[in-house]
Structure 1
Amino acid sequence: MTREQAPARQLVETVIAPPVIAAVAAHAAARVPGVVRLEPGLRGLAGSLTRIARQRIKGLEPAPTEGVRAFVEHDPPDVRVEIDLSLSGLDQAAATAQAVQRAVGKAVTEATGLTPSAVSVSILDIEIRGGLL
């Protein structure tokens, strides 16, 4: 949430909803090399289905947020992001998770002006292909 002065000395309040932050985070995380996909999990699926249904009823095309949860506190302003994902077995898991944290933090800050206090990454699966084991 940001507050700005409008031209006529009116106070304007901008509220950025958690699904917006989640969509920005999902897009940034999915673009990190080594990330195979975001994993919604059961909790994420239930919330995602409800959000998608509401947006479709309103005639909106929902941005993908599966596997990402965003939490926004307004007073004082605080943003936290949780991401569940699957990684490629070809990359080091810890390095990829750190790259996701950096990419998501930067993307959320650039898109919203809010810097996340925490970006938590949970690796739920590592895909190993081509007989590496």
Structure 2
Amino acid sequence: MTTEAISEVVIEAPVIAAVAAQAARATPGVVRLEPGVRGLVSTLVRVGKQRLTNADPAASEGVRVRKNAAGELSVQVDVVISAARAAAVVGHAVQQEVSRVVFEQTGQQVDEVSVSILDIEPERR
């Protein structure tokens, strides 16, 4: 008779944020992620904690992840986009790509992806 051990895998918010950041940066039309003021403060705290433990911080500036009491996962992404593409199209593409890649790489279902476009850079000629 075999006994199966039941275990739980927990993927922490910083890991989900790093995956979401990678997905957002890879989206056509996204020039870069911008941490904004809120993001800078949370990044400094996270990096400080990781440096105390000698861990290399994953690049997740410009992304915040929250789980509510019901376990629903929300991701906030702050981006700068290219003027070569329509803002609404890029924002929607970021939402789709972040949801897809986070699920593929972590198995976590993203319930909401909010995209803030902080700047639009003109085309370089």
**TM-score normalised to the size of structure 1?**
0.86
| Contact persistence 1:41–1:67 (CA under 8 A) | yes
Choose between structure 1 and 2: higher strand proportion: 1
Which of 88, 112, 116 is residue 118 of structure 1 equivalent to? 112
**1:13 has 2:8 as partner:** yes
**1:1-133 aligned within 5 A:** 8-73=3-68, 76-130=70-124
Residue 71 of structure 1 aligns to which amino acid in structure 2? R
User: Which runs of structure 1 show a deviation greater than 6 angstroms over 4 or more consecutive aligned residues?
Assistant: none
Structure 1 vs Structure 2 CA RMSD: 1.6
How far does the alpha carbon of each residue in 1:49-84 deviate from its partner, in whole angstroms, 9 at most, with x for none?
Answer: 1111111221111111111000124x6432110001
How far does the alpha carbon of each residue in 1:67-121 deviate from its partner, in whole angstroms, 9 at most, with x for none?
Answer: 1000124x64321100011000111111111111111000110111111110110
| Contact persistence 1:81–1:116 (CA under 8 A) | yes
Instruction: State how many pairs are aligned.
Output: 124
Residue 64 of structure 1 aligns to which amino acid in structure 2? A
Inter-partner Cα distance in structure 1 for 2:39 and 2:58 = 14
Give, in angstroms, the shift of residue 8 of structure 1.
Answer: 3.5
Percent of aligned pairs with the same amino acid: 46
Could you list the runs of 5+ residues in structure 1 that have no partner in the other structure? Answer: 1-6
Could you list the runs of 5+ residues in structure 2 that have no partner in the other structure? Answer: none
| Contact persistence 1:17–1:72 (CA under 8 A) | no
**TM-score normalised to the size of structure 2?**
0.92
Inter-partner Cα distance in structure 2 for 1:29 and 1:130 = 21
